[in-house]
Structure 1
């Protein structure tokens, strides 16, 4: 068994820091009481709804067998257009982990660091299971996944949305599988869905969109809320610099920055710091197309070249009208930012200056939930 597909039937944030420069003149900071009222009402909603509310009417989820070669697994992720897949251990009859773009990034970095050519044979000799064990030994990351004395971080369809969101925040993972088993010992598990913060946020937006008055924070401009990471203003001694990339930055440098910063994506800007595009961890799977990873070096390929692999040959660099670059202004209401983040595949919204598109800050999914669930 290589790829497992399960039909679904409907049965019923990088820790951000706010720079004072985020506040515009004439935009006072929202009161703490308004934030607390919003938190209480969001908590009431999330506690009253469960994982079942995340399940679509129909669809499919894909799992990978742990004995599948790493090379083939990333071909599957790329072909299916999915960033993450649960891992199935047929011997134990359990879901035991997740395979994510970070795994592919670490594999490619490891091979390049040791001066090896990125040959197809090298990736084909390593199964997912072998890679996960090597990752645990090399990086000290067991991910609670493939060791027999640990269990996959997952949720049941009966768990509250708040509980699922907290699991995602506390573990720092992007996806939690929703698994159902009719047995008390968890045998014969059924994979129903992959829960994410964006799916939970979509539920929140849908519920409160027509009653924003009950959630005072939604109509407030994001610059008035203690939220996100902002480019420090000149003279701010305590500002936190925002990681950015140039189009000619090497892919190797970009991947190192993604891993070191612990973020899902980094903005790509021109010499004026105006937003052009973004490079995300999930973009790494584009290297599986036509086996590109077998004949390139990460330090010789630029970010621009890497992104072109996953785009149509005639597409311009920077897809502002698509899902890649989600932008808002600092004067936009929080609801608008939340609705952008509720789109599948979107993890961060970039706050830009009107007209110039100069990057002023970034708000992530985890930023939103840390604000609402504190």
Structure 2
């Protein structure tokens, strides 16, 4: 409610505050309505590829197939029950490898096991998508994002009405890509800063790691906090890099099973010093100010296609982190 003159606030200031709040609410509503009016079918790329794995194939072979085809995840098909039973991601393989190592199981033994044996192991590492959550292609994008959030999933298989196959894999990144590419709005509705809008994670909630930290310790911390990437800082707390939980540098540079384990003992600085290649990509470090407007964040995504932005101050010290998930769920009313 606006304050009346004499109650401590000038009428002009009150009107400005109210107008700003109206613009903020309107901006959120128009994106909400856009996501509710579009379906997963609308969001599907005109051309693309999808990889499927039978649960009878060796899990190590599946991992390298994901890398070869540059796929973050793939549906798993059980030929006995003739149904999809889950998704396998690059992060899953890394977590499974570490879990078996902690149990004292040799890496050679893991590489010989097929996917079905690994996912049915009662003492094994539960995958992030251990159930197959097929979502009809006619589902609205907004509803799909609601499902992703409720189930704490990063990927969502898109299926036709008969459920016989998978058409695509939806993710927050794909939703943001579709939104930036297709949403058109003439009004300037997104000039508030991401900090003012409460988009992202800030302060003590942000997990950062020293560049001298050992990889195995970093992966343990990321798994415990359920984060997919962490800013890497130097001795002065300045951000010098970004490490993703799906980074496969330590695997790609291994020559055998023993060197995989020894590579888990390298520091993040050693990993960051290795230049990414086409075969071994790495999330680029992209930064922004906490005062950056939401409009500028959209424009930045259109330019570089980030998965996350690290918010830094003038000294490049980490203040927060904003992901594609944060941006989309803000508009989904969560």
Q: Does 1:360 pair with 2:332? A: no
SS of the residue aligned with 1:211?
coil
Deviations 1:103-154 (A, max 9, x none): 223222223323455x3x21223211221222x6556678452xxxxxx112
Which stretches in structure 2 are left out of the alignment for 5+ residues?
1-16
Query: Could you tell me how far 1:33 is from its partner in structure 2?
Result: 4.2
Q: Specify the alignment match of 1:204 in structure 2.
A: 179
The Cα shift of 1:50 comes to 0.7
Among 105, 111, 118, the alignment partner of 1:124 is 111
Q: Is 1:303 aligned to residue 246 of structure 2?
A: no
Counting only pairs closer than 5 Å after superposition, residues 322-341 of structure 1 correspond to structure 2 as 323-340=283-300
Gaps of 5+ in 1: 1-27, 146-151, 232-239
Q: Within 5 A, what are the aligned runs for 1:233-248? A: 240-248=204-212
Q: Is the 8 A contact 2:229 2:245 kept in 1?
A: yes
Q: Partner of 1:51 in structure 2?
A: 40
The 1:52–1:93 alpha-carbon spacing in structure 2 relative to 1, beyond 3 Å, is: same
- 1:60 corresponds in structure 2 to 49
**Alignment TM-score, normalising by the size of structure 1:** 0.74
Q: 1:276 to 1:29 in 2, by over 3 A?
A: farther
- Cα deviations by residue, 1:258-309 (Å, 9 ceiling, x for unpaired): 1011111001111122221111121037504554554233552222334456
What residue number does 1:176 align with?
156
What is residue 230 of structure 1 aligned with on the other side?
202
Q: 1:281 aligns with which of 237, 245, 249?
A: 245
**Secondary structure of 1:57's aligned partner:** coil
**Aligned to 1:160, which of 126, 140, 143?**
140
Q: Secondary structure at the match of 2:236?
A: coil
Q: In the aligned structure 1, how far is the partner of 2:91 from the partner of 2:38?
A: 31
* TM-score calculated relative to the size of structure 2: 0.82
Deviation at 1:310, TM superposition (A): 6.6
Q: What is the rounded CA distance, in whole Å, between the counterparts of 1:102 and 1:273 in structure 2?
A: 27
Please say which of residues 121-130 and 153-162 is displaced more in the overlay: 121-130
Q: Secondary structure at the match of 2:297?
A: helix
* Per-residue deviation, 1:83: 2.1
Contact 1:274/1:359 (CA < 8 Å) preserved in 2? Answer: yes
Secondary structure at 1:176 match in 2:
strand
Q: Give yes or no for contact 1:283–1:307 (8 Å, CA) kept in 2.
A: no
Q: Distance in 2 between matches of 1:357 and 1:200?
A: 29
1:89 and 1:310 map into 2 onto residues whose CA distance is: 38
Counterpart of 1:58 in 2: which secondary structure?
Answer: coil
Distance in 1, Cα, partners of 2:313 & 2:115 = 44
Q: Which one has the largest radius of gyration?
A: 2
Asked if the contact 1:198–1:341 (Cα under 8 Å) also holds between the matched residues in 2, the reply is: no
RMSD, aligned α-carbons: 3.1
* 2:27 pairs with one of 38, 41, 46: 38
Q: Distance in 2 between matches of 1:242 and 1:98?
A: 28
How far, CA to CA, are the matches of 1:299 and 1:32 in structure 2? 49
Instruction: With a CA cutoff of 8 Å and minimum separation of 6, indicate the structure with the bigger relative contact order.
Output: 1
Q: How many positions carry a matched residue from both structures?
A: 315
1:38 offset after TM fit, Å? 2.5
SS of aligned partner of 2:48: strand
Give the 3-state SS of the residue equivalent to 2:232 in structure 1.
strand
